[in-house]
Structure 1
Amino acid sequence: MKKVTKPVFFIVLLVIALFVGVQVTGLTYQYGDIQTTYIKKASDVRWGIDIRGGVDVTFTPSTGVEATEEQMDSATEVIKQRLITLGITDSECYTDYSNSRIIVRFPWQSGETDFDPEAAVKELGETAMLTFREGYEVDETGVFTGATAENVILQGSDVVSASVGVDENNKYIIVLKITDDGKQKFSEATKKCAAEGKSISIWMDETVIANPNVEQQITSNEATITGQFTAEEAKSLADKINSGALPFNLETSSFSTISPTLGLGARDAMLIAGAIAFVFIAVFMIIMYRLPGFVSVIGLAGQVAGMVCAVTGFFGFMNGSTLTVPGIAGIILSVGMGVDANIITAERIKEELRAGKTLDGALRAGFDKGFTAIFDSNITVVFVAIILMGAFGVTDSFFATLLKPVFGFFGTSTEGTVYSLGYTLIAGIILNFVMAVTASRLMLQSLSKFKALRNPVLYGGVKKND
């Protein structure tokens, strides 16, 4: 590692302090009635069913639809994908083939106070069939007829991805990337509509969401949907398009709220206990290990803030993860491993000083020797976390895909509470290397450059003159 100078401590401290601060306050921008979140705060954490409760809903195919097992599986996967786009990982989704039912349980959203089960399930059960149609011919009830009904230009299957954008007037739009086949069809349709002075209407199921005029042929592989969308409406529409359409209409046969097994009172008690434990750990580390202990406390504060960041998603455009009781256990275990990593390093530094090495030599050797033990203990936990996320996560996640040859023959097993444990563990281990290994080393080596802080006693050694 290159020579660390005195200002490095203050730079690292400032970065960690800002990181902790934004997790408390967040960063939002209000423009009229539109609030844009750039950085999420700790209160944006989505709590699991076991802590906050949620919804139990049963979907069935609409009357007259005889759904096959393959169609039921397809509908179940679409619902799971919609839950994922909403940042819900603590969910349960079962398919009852004999009774043609799909049973879904999922938690409340963060910040919800007046919970409406009907509104919560509506978005999941919508067919969400996106179509681009020629012109805008409708009957008195608003249902498309004539050429609009007959000439479907693009469907949801022609769309690769959908994202939210902003046009030159600062209005929210949905940007669609379409397939090569869809690009060809769209090019031909826009050429025809431009020549005939027709519009291309855009529909979600049987509701028109835009009806733009076509002035010229469009040959790119991008299309946009414009309208008077709020940020939430634009994101919701993009999520529906990305999740895909259901193979048939669903009806809600029953729904109810689920009471939490622990409740918010238990959550608050755990948070208070965690804060008290952190204070005791901080005092212990400073008393036992002096300056290395002081530096480790700063690193641990950054690690806790980083764990909150991993759960919320940090940036406004990123989905977070649902935090369950096992997830909280994963955070506690990760912080404990962070404490252990700092203790290992501090003890190694102390041993090197008592063996007669200079302060600079003891710091280098202490961190180098401590890293081997820290790496070995942490990497085994990473393997466990990956297995938990692969075995109990959603079927199309990275780790589930990676481990499919191992767990595929057991069938699908999505268990959000176990996934939450694996997620917080792997996030905690990564932050452990960032904070307990890298940041602590930079700060401690920087502080050792100050003459007043070069006494070996401050690092656990025997007092002597440098």
Structure 2
Amino acid sequence: MQKEPSIAAVAAIIIAILLLGYFAAEPIAKSINLGLDLRGGLRVVLEAQETEGKAVTEDTINKALGILRTRVDSLGVKETTLYPQGDNRVVIEIAGEDDPEAAVDILKNVAQLEFQDETGKVWVTGENLKNAEARMDRSGTGNAEVLLEFDKTGARLFADATLANVGKPLLIVIDDEVISAPNVNEPINDGSAVISGHFTAEEANNLAVQLRSGALPVSFSVMEKRSVGPTLGADSLDKSLKAGIIGLIAVLLFMLGYYRLPGLIADLSLVIYLVLVLGVMSILGAVLTLPGIAGLALSIGMAVDANVVTYERIKEELRFGKTLGAAIEAGFKRAFWAIFDSNLTTLIAAGVLMYFGTGPIKGFAVTLSIGIIASVFLVLTFTRYMLILFSNITKNPKLYGVEGGAADANN
């Protein structure tokens, strides 16, 4: 490759990288999801309560998680994380919600629906419910109501219940609380019913979501509740960004001052690295937390370390008297397994944390894993390609960090 084409290629690449960093920064910052500790919100630990004949098992917790996720999706609660903790607990983390306490109350309610007569006999339950929809009361009161639709078995049971209770009240009970007790005027055979009780539109919709998603297999009590205000979250994010920027500038200056041209390449690769890691996190919908920022900082250090190992090997080869091109090839060959082994062991540890960890620990592991893969990819592709381009522009050993090396600058 000739000198002039190499200069043009290097100039074009540098400009492209700087433009990439400039134009990608704002879209990535807007699209990446911030965790509870950075955005503010509520973290609640719920503990399943054992009752007679209903032991809490792993299957019970998994079913509860499935129902809770259905409720989250139906309610449209933003940035909610659900995961099990231990054998009998569920953690709910809600970030960016205007009223997270109300959201948690809606999510944790059992929502066990029963139709009872005056004697307390249960005729139909929510297990036979096919659908539940909120609508405005057609009588013009301005209240909302919930329209119920039963499956075939439920329609038959409800018909039997209304037939046996003509002229009597039929109690609609949710979680042992009587919502309404309408009088039955005639048997209802179409498999539908209406729950009315002076609901607002939002209350009716929340109740419909709970009933539609099904009753939780067990009841839950709040064991821990921790709230992070949006101001505190913003302060944590601001301090983290300032610390990260200062640290990054220090690394960039050190690499440029100590390794010179290879240091410039390392600085450029870090720009690509940050865009790549944060872009992948944004695409995957990963949540960035304070531990995640720590994982990002650690992976940046490992990315720099991979460049340092490679450059030191190249400097050794130059001191042995090899030409620059031969030193680059030999340096990468010698550095490869050291880089691969160190990053692989860290990736395995991150994988273990990702599999067994929850919440912040998992966020740390995800960020670290993405960073490790990106750093190895860049050092083996971009760094190598740029070193070859620069070697066609100048072969002066001093520009590669070797003072008084034996390599011939003109080779």
Looking at structure 1, the residues matched to 72 and 319 of structure 2 have their Cα atoms a distance apart, in angstroms, of: 54
TM-score, normalised to structure 2's length?
0.62
Partner SS for 2:91 = strand
Corresponding residue for residue 322 of structure 2 = 357
Question: What pairs up with 1:127-206 in 2 under 5 angstroms?
Answer: 149-150=150-151
CA offset at residue 13 of structure 1?
4.3
> Contact 1:95 / 1:103 at 8 angstroms: preserved in 2?
no
Corresponding residue for residue 306 of structure 2 = 341
CA RMSD, 1 decimal: 4.6
CA offset at residue 386 of structure 1?
0.9
Change (3 A) 1:355 1:68: same
Corresponding residue for residue 410 of structure 2 = 465
Q: Quick check: 357-366 or 289-298, which moved more?
A: 357-366
Question: What pairs up with 1:325-404 in 2 under 5 angstroms?
Answer: 325=291, 327-392=292-357
Structure having the higher helix fraction is 2
Give the aligned residue type for 1:458.
L
Corresponding residue for residue 319 of structure 1 = 285
Corresponding residue for residue 102 of structure 2 = 118
Change (3 A) 1:17 1:76: farther
CA offset at residue 55 of structure 1?
3.5
CA offset at residue 253 of structure 1?
7.6
Corresponding residue for residue 25 of structure 2 = 24
Corresponding residue for residue 454 of structure 1 = 395
Corresponding residue for residue 255 of structure 2 = 285
Tell me the number of residue pairs that the alignment of Structure 1 and Structure 2 aligns. Answer: 321
Looking at structure 2, the residues matched to 381 and 422 of structure 1 have their Cα atoms a distance apart, in angstroms, of: 10
Looking at structure 1, the residues matched to 108 and 19 of structure 2 have their Cα atoms a distance apart, in angstroms, of: 38
Cα offsets for 1:372-420 (capped at 9, x unmatched): 211111111011111111122xxxxxxxxxxxxxxxxxxxxxx212212
Corresponding residue for residue 167 of structure 2 = none
Cα offsets for 1:294-328 (capped at 9, x unmatched): 01011112222333234xx323xx42234233x22
> Contact 1:125 / 1:250 at 8 angstroms: preserved in 2?
yes
Change (3 A) 1:121 1:465: farther
Change (3 A) 1:341 1:143: closer
Cα offsets for 1:52-93 (capped at 9, x unmatched): 4524275889xx998653574244332675699866558665
User: Can you give the 5+ residue segments of structure 2 that lack an aligned partner in the other structure?
Assistant: 112-125, 154-193, 196-208
CA offset at residue 444 of structure 1?
2.1
Partner SS for 1:69 = coil
Looking at structure 1, the residues matched to 72 and 24 of structure 2 have their Cα atoms a distance apart, in angstroms, of: 23
Give the aligned residue type for 1:455.
N
> Contact 1:23 / 1:42 at 8 angstroms: preserved in 2?
no
Which of 233, 244, 247 is the matching residue for 1:274?
Answer: 244
Corresponding residue for residue 198 of structure 2 = none
Corresponding residue for residue 432 of structure 1 = 375
Cα offsets for 1:221-242 (capped at 9, x unmatched): xxxxxxxxxxxxxxxx9xxx9x
Change (3 A) 1:108 1:258: same
> Contact 1:125 / 1:252 at 8 angstroms: preserved in 2?
no
Give the aligned residue type for 2:271.
A
Looking at structure 2, the residues matched to 424 and 347 of structure 1 have their Cα atoms a distance apart, in angstroms, of: 28
CA offset at residue 363 of structure 1?
1.6
Which of 78, 85, 104 is the matching residue for 2:91?
Answer: 104
Corresponding residue for residue 296 of structure 1 = 266
Looking at structure 2, the residues matched to 435 and 60 of structure 1 have their Cα atoms a distance apart, in angstroms, of: 47
> Contact 2:33 / 2:285 at 8 angstroms: preserved in 1?
no
Looking at structure 2, the residues matched to 24 and 84 of structure 1 have their Cα atoms a distance apart, in angstroms, of: 31
Change (3 A) 1:95 1:139: farther
1:423 aligned to 2:407? Answer: no
Corresponding residue for residue 47 of structure 1 = 35
CA offset at residue 21 of structure 1?
3.6
User: Can you give the 5+ residue segments of structure 1 that lack an aligned partner in the other structure?
Assistant: 27-39, 97-101, 153-204, 207-236, 393-414
> Contact 2:311 / 2:331 at 8 angstroms: preserved in 1?
yes
CA offset at residue 288 of structure 1?
0.7
Question: What pairs up with 1:208-247 in 2 under 5 angstroms?
Answer: 247=216
Looking at structure 2, the residues matched to 314 and 18 of structure 1 have their Cα atoms a distance apart, in angstroms, of: 19
> Contact 1:59 / 1:125 at 8 angstroms: preserved in 2?
no
Change (3 A) 1:378 1:432: same
Partner SS for 1:104 = strand
Looking at structure 2, the residues matched to 258 and 345 of structure 1 have their Cα atoms a distance apart, in angstroms, of: 46
Cα offsets for 1:272-292 (capped at 9, x unmatched): 122111111111111110100
> Contact 2:65 / 2:82 at 8 angstroms: preserved in 1?
no
Of all paired residues, the percent bearing the same amino acid is: 27
